[in-house]
Homo-oligomer: A and B are copies of this chain.
Amino acid sequence: MKQGAATKEEKQVRQAKRDPEGVRRDILAVAMEEFSQNGLSGARIDEIAARTRTSKRMIYYYFGDKEGLYQRVLEEAYAEVRGGESELELDGLDPVAALVKLCRYTFDHHRRNPSFIRMVMIENIHHGRHMQLSENIRGLNRLAIESLEAVLKRGQEAGLFREGLNPLELHWQISALSFFNVSNAATFSFIFGDALFMPDGQETLSSHVADMVLRYVRVEHPRPGA
């Protein structure tokens, strides 16, 4: 025990001076900020280097080149926002409440992660070239569909939801509304005013997204006894 603790303390002491993982994380965090603000070609390696507690040399030491760094930042962005859905515990809720919760969670989640949204926007500008080089991104998001599918199924079995619904399509719809809310806030609010993007407006949008999805999936004339 004492020995183990000593080792751990030694490591902490060591990490104060030599901390490869910490340096990597530091670089990634700063690079995420720079890339998400300025895009791949707009980002400046020198700027990233200046804002880290390490040097430009270290960036090349760990990430090879600019594209390598960008790719790792993209992976990091996807990794950070994964999970979450799995902790919603939708199975414990009735289908309607579960769907509402999922919609609201997605909306808020996107809203709270503008850097992620911007990275995805940038990657789409690049036609998704870089994410195709990454192995792990693909797998992460599949879960969203599965949990949605489970909720749909339960709703259908309870006679609450329509038949013939496509979970992937529903995910597309929820994502579209939640994503656009962040991605296009600048141009939309410039043209039409920012009322929808103030706290009250956002709360309204959030609830109406859930409302819209619900109205879309519900049967037209529910049997009261179902």
Contacts and interface: CB of A to CB of B under 8 A. Distances in A.
A91 to B, nearest CB: 22
A155 to B, nearest CB: 15
Given A38-B41, A42-B41, A205-B172, A124 B187 contact: yes
A25 interface: no
A28 interface: no
B184 A124 contact: yes
Interface in A31-49: 38-42
Secondary structure class of chain A's binding surface, majority of residues: helix
23 contacts: A39-B39, A39-B41, A121-B121, A122-B125, A124-B185, A124-B186, A124-B187, A128-B190, A131-B187, A131-B190, A141-B191, A141-B192, A168-B193, A169-B205, A172-B188, A173-B177, A173-B212, A175-B188, A176-B181, A179-B180, A180-B180, A212-B216, A216-B216
Nearest to A197: B172
Interface residues of A, number: 53
A104 interface: no
